[in-house]
Amino acid sequence: MSAADPAAAPRAAPPPPGDAPRPPHGVLVGVDLAGIQRFIYEGRRLLDAIGRATLVADLTDTSGPHVAPLLAEVPEEHRAVLRDAGGALYIAFTRPGRAAADARAFTGRYTRRLRDISDRLTPVTAHVPYGGPGRPADQAEALRLLPSALQGARARPAPGHLPAQGLGVTAACDVTGRPAELLDHTRDRGPVRERTARDIVTARMRARQWHDANSRTWLRGIAPPAGAQRLELPTDVDHLGREIGDVSRLAVVHLDFNGLGDLLKAHHRRVQESGADVAASMRAVSADIARLTEGLAQALIRAVAAAIGTDPGTGEPAIDGHGAGGRLRPRAARGTVYVPVRPVVVAGDDLTVICDARLAWSATRFVLDWLDADPAALDARDPRAAMARRAATPPWTRRLVGTGRTTGVPSAGVGIAVQPVGAPLSVGYDICAALCEEAKEYRKRDAHRLDDHVVAWSHDFDDPARVVARLREDRRAPAPGEPGRTALPMTGAEFHAFLRDYLDPRAPAGLRGAGLSEQRSWLLSRLAPLLQDGRDPAAELERRSDLGMPVKLPEPFARDLLLDALGLLDLHLDVPLAHHPPADPPSRTEEGGRRQ
């Protein structure tokens, strides 16, 4: 997809005539990789997803092996990288008389290199010339118009390249079903080798490189449990959520910052009006957001890793909590304990995490608390500090609900999808991303929610559109003033109150309190169906009292919240996760640090 000619980009009014100095001329090139999520989650293996996510990061890393050689063909003083994160690349070419040719050459070679790596990624490209009649006046104005040009390019797809030649029409890739190109000798499966597409093997090799270089770095300073030699991030979904004789489900959790596009547009406008360097300011804020996302991923890993202790009865590694059996046993083999959480995509403002399903709600609570930290309490090296201290600078000012403080860290939308271990990760991702979008739309409907986070989840493993449709149907009130069958989506404040009042064993009337913790069977087999049907539970509560087993439900009675809590009764393990800052935080330039 391309918008390489001036007519394809939005035009600004021509500069007024006069004796003003000749404005700087150049061409701003924008590249946006479409189909990233489809590419990342095409296979079933976690290692494939990790490797493909890292490959996407490499493709927009201007110091990496794919982009750096292409930029080196243009003198450094005649090019400027304005953005290189989140699957997007913005570069200005300014060589007098050669800017357009440099832009075309870079785009052609870059898109060819992309196709050599995989035919599953679609580059969307746009060229916005500036500094001349009928063109944007300067680079800042071209940068403002570039997103619209890229959006227009998406609507005009170019003919794709022919499929890569494979091993034969009957030889399909064992992972994707596409034509196989080679045999994968990197996996020890005896004499039988997987027939795969070339990008599968490339991604697996890149995933192993990233894992070797970064896994232990991110866990540095966290002591393994007694009897274990080391902690490590898993590369197999079986190491995340499969436990013999117990729950075998994992959760895919997707986080996306709310309204970030509008915030960046407002920031661009304010910087432009102030006369400051727009390109430098936009690049700085993008880097701050990327650092925030990467820091969040690392903080979550370290918090879960630090929660791994030892079962006093068996001496095995365990994470203790309340509910869901009270204990999670992470995978351990040959002295290595695998942390049951794994960020897969860490890019720009996107974070996708796969974890044992029992940890998903405790992990989400930790994430929201981490983002809402008091800016005054943050060390300058903290990845939150740069954004948090924009609190006094519109449009970044956000009120922290219930604290009286403000921060510059944007609020987040979170979607949680629960799926069986071994099911395609692509389906789980599509569901949690759809739930995240539904939650963000819910947030926009009330001005009082705009400063808060928002969360939605589902236990349904189905088509994402049907999952969202069921959520909307369950939320719909049967009559004015009556609650539906779910309170989802919830704001961050509502989410915290929900976990505290319904699923915390210290809550006096919670489902795990002294009064109800031993009545699980009745709660799920008798009370839940009554609530699902919309019937008044008063008669059932009276019957229960007559049998000498009185029940006190959480007050005030809320059918929707109670049903949501009953759905988590056997799944949610309440683990108090705490922040453990790294002693030596990795830099932004560390290999694979922006996306793994």
pLDDT tens sequence across 276-328? 988 889 889 989 998 999 999 999 999 999 999 999 888 999 999 998 778 89
State the pLDDT at residue 423: 86
Partnered with residue 490 across adjacent β-strands are 455
Q: What number is the average pLDDT over the span 408-422?
A: 95
**Distance (Å) of CA 32 to CA 59, 60, 361, 454:** 11, 9, 33, 27
Mean per-residue pLDDT of the chain: 86
The pLDDT tens digits for 33-43 are 887 888 888 77
The answer on pLDDT for 586 being more than 50 is no
| CA dihedral for 322, 323, 326, 329, sign (positive or negative) | negative
Tell me the three state secondary structure of residue 451.
coil
Tokens of 34: 């479409």
Among the ranges given (184-193, 407-416, 420-429, 435-444), the one the predictor scored with the smallest mean pLDDT = 184-193
Tell me the three state secondary structure of residue 285.
helix
Please tell me the distance from the alpha carbon of residue 404 to that of residue 287, in angstroms, as a whole number: 28
Please check whether residue 475 is in contact with residue 488, taking contact to mean a CB–CB distance below 8 angstroms. yes
Write down the residue that tokens 């903290």 correspond to.
382
Give, for 344, the enclosing helix (H) or strand (E): strand 341-347
Tokens of 154: 């998406």
Please check whether residue 317 is in contact with residue 308, taking contact to mean a CB–CB distance below 8 angstroms. yes
Please check whether residue 264 is in contact with residue 282, taking contact to mean a CB–CB distance below 8 angstroms. yes
What is 238-459's CATH topology? Alpha-Beta Plaits (3.30.70)
Q: What number is the average pLDDT over the span 453-479?
A: 94
Which is more confident, 584 or 18? 584
Q: How far apart are the first and last CA of the chain?
A: 27
> 589 Cβ partners below 8 Å, 6+ apart?
63
> 468 Cβ partners below 8 Å, 6+ apart?
434, 435, 438
The amino acid at residue 543 is R
Please tell me the distance from the alpha carbon of residue 556 to that of residue 553, in angstroms, as a whole number: 9
The answer on pLDDT for 46 being more than 60 is yes
Write down the residue that tokens 């990790």 correspond to.
50
Among 336, 32, 62, 42, CA closest to 211: 336
Q: pLDDT band at 440, cuts 50/70/90? A: very high
Give long-range contacts, CB 8 A cutoff, 24+ apart: 382-386. Answer: 382/295, 382/581, 383/291, 383/292, 383/294, 383/295, 383/296, 383/298, 383/585, 384/292, 384/295, 384/409, 386/288, 386/291, 386/292
Among 591, 564, 452, CA closest to 503: 564
Q: pLDDT band at 246, cuts 50/70/90? A: low
Residue 100's CB is within 10 A of a number of other CB atoms, namely 18
Residue 280's CB is within 10 A of a number of other CB atoms, namely 12
State the pLDDT at residue 591: 40
Which is more confident, 78 or 347? 78
**Burial label, 261 (beta-carbon count in 10 A; 0-12, 13-18, 19+):** exposed
State the pLDDT at residue 594: 40
Q: Could you give the percent of the chain with pLDDT greater than 90?
A: 55
The answer on pLDDT for 266 being more than 70 is yes
State the pLDDT at residue 251: 95
The answer on pLDDT for 163 being more than 60 is no
**76: which DSSP letter?**
G
Please check whether residue 99 is in contact with residue 85, taking contact to mean a CB–CB distance below 8 angstroms. no
**Distance (Å) of CA 78 to CA 139, 284, 449:** 13, 20, 46
Q: pLDDT band at 508, cuts 50/70/90? A: confident
> 512 Cβ partners below 8 Å, 6+ apart?
322, 323, 503, 504, 505, 569, 574
State the pLDDT at residue 117: 86
Strands 412-420 and 454-458 turn out to be parallel
Please check whether residue 241 is in contact with residue 420, taking contact to mean a CB–CB distance below 8 angstroms. no
Domain boundaries of the chain, sorted by first residue: 2-154, 238-459, 500-567
The answer on pLDDT for 592 being more than 80 is no
Please check whether residue 477 is in contact with residue 484, taking contact to mean a CB–CB distance below 8 angstroms. yes
Tell me the three state secondary structure of residue 410.
coil
The pLDDT tens digits for 560-580 are 999 999 999 999 999 999 999
Among 440, 449, 300, 306, CA closest to 369: 300
Between 278-306 and 260-274, two packed helices, what is the crossing angle to 10 degrees?
Answer: 140
Which is more confident, 16 or 92? 92
Q: What number is the average pLDDT over the span 514-535?
A: 88
Of 195-204, 456-465, 527-536, the range with the highest mean pLDDT is 456-465
Among 431, 435, 383, 375, CA closest to 405: 375
CATH architecture of 2-154: 2-Layer Sandwich (3.30)
| Whether the domain at 2-154 and the domain at 238-459 fall into the same CATH topology | yes
